[in-house]
Amino acid sequence: MSRVARLGFFAAALTLVGASSAFAQSDIYRDLRDIRRDRADIYREQAKLREERAERNYDARRERRALEQGNWHAARYWDARRRHEQHDVNAIERDLRRDRGDLARDKADLRRDIWRYGR
């Protein structure tokens, strides 16, 4: 192999290694960004869940008080509101489970990309 051919082969190999490492680095940065976003989503969802549970518990207390006082009309009203709040709580819990799954997937992707980049 001539010297020019070796130099060309070496330059081509460096280009490929540089491109693959830059691609892996962009994957790592994307995974880190996704992890930060998922954590922020989880934090927001937990705050919303606390608020919705507080509203649901308030409605349940009002319903119980109306039942104790024999006010059936008010008890039905507060029961409907409590059921609506429970529906919201269930939806937020579903979103939280989905966000936690996304976070776990992004962490696995990050580990895989770091392992692949470090090889």
The encoded tokens of residue 105 equal 């997937």
DSSP secondary structure code for residue 24 in this structure: H
Determine the 3-state secondary structure of 57 from DSSP: helix
89 versus 12: which is more confidently predicted? Answer: 89
This prediction has a pTM of: 0.71
CB 22 within 8 A of CB 113: no
Half-sphere exposure of 70 (CA within 13 A, CB side): 0
User: Cα(20)–Cα(14) distance, rounded to whole angstroms?
Assistant: 10
For 3-118, CATH number out of 1.10.287.1700, 3.40.50.12160, 3.30.300.30, 3.30.390.10 equals 1.10.287.1700
Length reported for the chain: 119
User: From CA 44, how far away is CA 21, in angstroms rounded?
Assistant: 35
The 10s digit of each residue's pLDDT in 3-57 is 655 545 555 555 555 545 555 578 889 999 999 999 999 999 999 999 999 999 9
